[in-house]
Amino acid sequence: MLKVDIIEHGTVVDHIQAGMGKKVLDILGIDEKSGNRVALVMNVPSQKMGKKDILKVEGVLISAEKTDAIALISPRASVNLIKDGKVVEKKQAELPESLHGVGKCPNPNCISMQEKAAGKFHLEGQKYRCEYCERVFKPAELL
Ligand SMILES: [Zn+2]
């Protein structure tokens, strides 16, 4: 088992779908310029998922909105907020009932694309329907 430094203050995102760890970093807006200490561990064996990615970010407690956005690409992810070396909050990523301003409609003919309007979607089962063009998309297609 690969050891990663314990985080004193920050966020651990566990059970990320394998290969999606970098996309989670994108959602959080973290890159080499942001200066945070980051550990991304990829392809960790997982009983539940076969393989998973784990992300640890020092110094950032991520918001509920970001947790929802992570759910779009990795519905089984769990988010642990850590303060003073202790987990103070554990959240399961969940697909939000509706999305406003998160995600873009992948339909090039959709009026939301032509008018550069903020996306509006609502959840139907495990997919999202665009409120402009009425088409249905998988969550990952919206990012
Ligand atoms: Zn649309």
If you measure from the C-alpha of residue 106 to the centroid of ligand 1, how many angstroms do you get, rounded to a whole number?
7
CA distance 118 to 48: 36
How many C-beta neighbours within 10 Å does residue 128 have? Answer: 26
What pTM did the predictor assign?
Answer: 0.81
State the distance from the centre of ligand 1 to the C-alpha of 104, rounded, in angstroms.
Answer: 8
What is the CA(124)–ligand 1 centre distance, in A? Answer: 15
The pLDDT assigned to 1 comes to 44
Residue type, 63: S
pLDDT at 86: 92
**pLDDT at residue 23, as a whole number:** 92
Which structural domains are found in the chain, ordered by start?
A: 10-92 (3.30.70.140), 98-142 (2.30.30.20)
pLDDT at 57: 94
Distance 64 CA to ligand 1 centre (A): 25
Q: How far is the CA of 113 from the centre of ligand 1 (A)?
A: 7
Q: In order along the chain (143 residues), what is the average pLDDT of each group of 10 residues? A: 72 95 92 89 93 95 89 92 93 90 91 90 95 95 89
For ligand 1, the distance from its centroid to the CA atom of residue 82, given in whole angstroms, is: 38
Report CA(25)–ligand 1 centroid distance (Å).
26
